[in-house]
Structure formats: C-alpha cells, structure tokens
C-alpha cells in the first residue's frame, strides 16, 4: 500500500470486531512508528496499550468515576476549547453529521449523551492506547505527539487495523495512571482505540465519512 492510499483510506472507526490484533502486529507498528520525527529528537511520546481483561477493568474504573458524578479533569484543555467562527461551525457540522449517520436527532440530548459515553467503552475496540508526554513540556511538543499518532494510524491502515483517535480518553486520567505504567511526570494527551473494523455497523457507514475543505481554503503557494 502506498502512503497516499493509506492517508485516503484512514478514517475514524467507531465499532469493532471482538477479534484482537496480534501482539506482533502491534509491536511491528510501534517498531516503525518510533522513526517519527520530533523536535530536537526528544521523542517525547509514551504509549500505554491495554487489552483483554485489563482493558475491561480500566473501562469499569472510568465508568465508576463517571457514575459517581466526577466531572472530566483532563491535564490539557480539551480540543474543542476556544473554537470560534468557521472552526466552531465545522465542529457543529461534524457533530450533526455524526448524529445523523447513526439516526440520532440533534435535539435528542439523551441519545447524544449515550453515544458520547461509548468513548469510554473504547467504542467496543479490543485495544485502547493512551498517549502521554511530560506535563512540563511546551505545547509545541504536542506536534511530535500528533506526528507519532498519525504515523501509528497509517501503519495500522496498512495492516488492515482500524482506529479511533480520542481526545475523550484524556478526560479521566486517574484510573489510566493508576492501572497502567504511565510515567508519573506525564500527562495524557489523547487515546487511540483500535482493532478490526465492524464494517456492518451503522456508525461506520459512509454517511459518517467527514469531508474536507479544498486546498485553496487552507493553502497558498507564493513565488
């Protein structure tokens, strides 16, 4: 598979088969992803992956916090913070298209909340990864994390593995840090649920495919 094909094939998948991804495939992807570039080669990334019974225990622990009424407490401001104008508009369009794709009325707050809760079920994926980096690092180093994340997602695509990047998985870091060997000084930036796509699921239908702006909206080339 060419990189161009992997870039175009990747999309966020939110329903998965139970079948786990073999550990050697996960290790191969990490082995390749470590070649991602980073500022001054600092390689700030840390990834902690949870599968099987431990994955279920972590899901239960996160839900226990949510059900106890604990409000989200991410270390970094969530991705939607401070959105205005066209960005706010795109966020709204994305949400409405997503709800429509699964037959949820945009006014139906309860159904929307139910869908949102699936984030902490890892959308049924057999594996969830948590990406963290030192909390003291500047946000410029988040670029390194983003490059690392996309490298992993594309390498997964090449191997038929689907994934869902999730800012939501940074919002209840307590159980994650208690159960996984995330370095104490690190803060969780996002998660990545992954596995084999359930291609029959409505939530993965092409109706949920997000379009992009044309190049001239975001680029200029001056000579």
By CB under 6 A, name the binding residues for ligand FMN.
11-12, 14, 79, 94, 119, 164-168, 190, 210
Closest to ligand FMN by CB, 26 vs 170, is 170
Minimum CB distance to ligand FMN, residue 71 (Å): 16
d(CA 20, CA 122): 13
User: How near is the Cβ of 19 to ligand FMN at its closest, in Å?
Assistant: 21
Q: How far is the CB of 16 from ligand FMN (least distance, A)?
A: 13
Nearer to ligand FMN, 126 or 165 (CB): 165
Residues 206, 13 contacting (CB under 8 angstroms)? no
Q: How far is the CB of 223 from ligand FMN (least distance, A)?
A: 31
CB nearer to ligand FMN: pick between 206 and 220: 206
Other CB atoms within 10 Å distance of the CB of residue 25:
15
Instruction: Report in angstroms how near the CB of residue 23 gets to ligand FMN at its nearest.
Output: 25
Q: For every residue of 183-218, which 3-state class applies, written as one string? A: CCCEEEEEEEEEECECCCCHHHCHHHCCCCCCHHHH
Q: Which is nearer to ligand FMN, 12 or 186 (CB)?
A: 12
Distance of CA 146 to the CA centre of its chain: 11
Q: Which residue has the tokens 């225990």?
A: 57
Q: How far apart are CA 118 and CA 170, in angstroms?
A: 14
Cβ proximity to ligand FMN, 15 vs 21, nearer residue? 15
């Amino acid at each position: 598979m060419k990189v161009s094909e992997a870039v175009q094939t990747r999309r966020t998948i939110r329903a998965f088969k139970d079948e786990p991804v073999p550990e050697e495939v996960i290790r191969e992807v990490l082995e390749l992803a470590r070649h991602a570039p980073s500022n001054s080669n600092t390689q700030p990334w840390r990834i902690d992956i949870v599968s099987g019974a431990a994955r279920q225990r972590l899901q239960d622990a996160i839900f226990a916090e949510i059900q106890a009424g604990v409000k989200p407490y991410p270390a970094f401001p969530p991705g939607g913070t401070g959105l205005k104008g066209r960005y706010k508009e795109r966020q709204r369009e994305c949400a409405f298209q997503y709800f429509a794709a699964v037959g949820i009325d945009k006014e139906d707050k309860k159904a929307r909340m139910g869908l949102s809760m699936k984030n902490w079920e890892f959308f049924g994926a057999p594996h969830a990864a948590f990406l963290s980096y030192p909390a003291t690092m500047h946000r410029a180093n988040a670029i390194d994390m983003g490059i690392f994340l996309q490298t992993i997602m594309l390498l997964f695509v090449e191997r038929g593995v689907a994934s869902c990047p999730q800012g939501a998985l940074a919002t209840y870091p307590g159980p994650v840090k208690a159960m996984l060997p995330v370095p104490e000084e690190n803060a969780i930036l996002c998660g990545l649920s992954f596995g084999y796509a359930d291609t029959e699921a409505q939530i993965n239908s092409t109706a949920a495919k997000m379009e992009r702006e044309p190049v001239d909206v975001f680029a200029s080339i001056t000579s």
